[in-house]
Homo-oligomer: A and B are copies of this chain.
Amino acid sequence: MKTIDIFKALSNETRLNILLWLKEPEKHFPAQGAHIPKGVSFVGGVCVGDIQEKAGLSQSTVSSYLNMMQKAELLESFRYGQWTYYRRNEASIQALAEEIRTHL
């Protein structure tokens, strides 16, 4: 993924907030994980509906924001049944910090 697409993904207040909320999912999404069954773990993942409610934007908007952030590798997703869970891609976020530190 190109660095500039990461910056584009980060240059919107809602998308930036989503990334920050997902840093402490249990704090910002109290009902998180309710649909993940035993044996399946996707720690830190929050479903689209919960993120949408918190963001206060339409379902379609939030869905495409999440998709955009995943393409930029800021998030990763896991589908369980009819739910899609998103969580931060920590490795990629740290790689961005390192990229800025050394090459920007």
Q: Which residues of A contact B (CB under 8 A)?
A: 3-4, 7-8, 10-13, 16, 19-20, 93-94, 96-98, 100-101, 104
Which listed residue, B8, B93, B94, touches A11 by the CB 8 Å rule? B8
Instruction: Add 11 more A-B contacts to A4-B11, A10-B11, A97-B100 (CB < 8 A).
Output: A4-B10, A7-B11, A7-B16, A8-B11, A19-B104, A20-B104, A93-B100, A96-B100, A97-B104, A100-B100, A101-B101
| Copies of this protein in the complex | 2
Q: Which residues of B contact A100 (CB under 8 A)?
A: 93, 96-97, 100
20 A-B pairs with CB atoms under 8 Å apart are: A4-B11, A4-B12, A4-B13, A4-B16, A7-B7, A7-B10, A7-B11, A7-B16, A8-B11, A10-B11, A11-B11, A20-B104, A93-B104, A94-B101, A96-B100, A97-B97, A97-B98, A97-B101, A100-B100, A101-B101
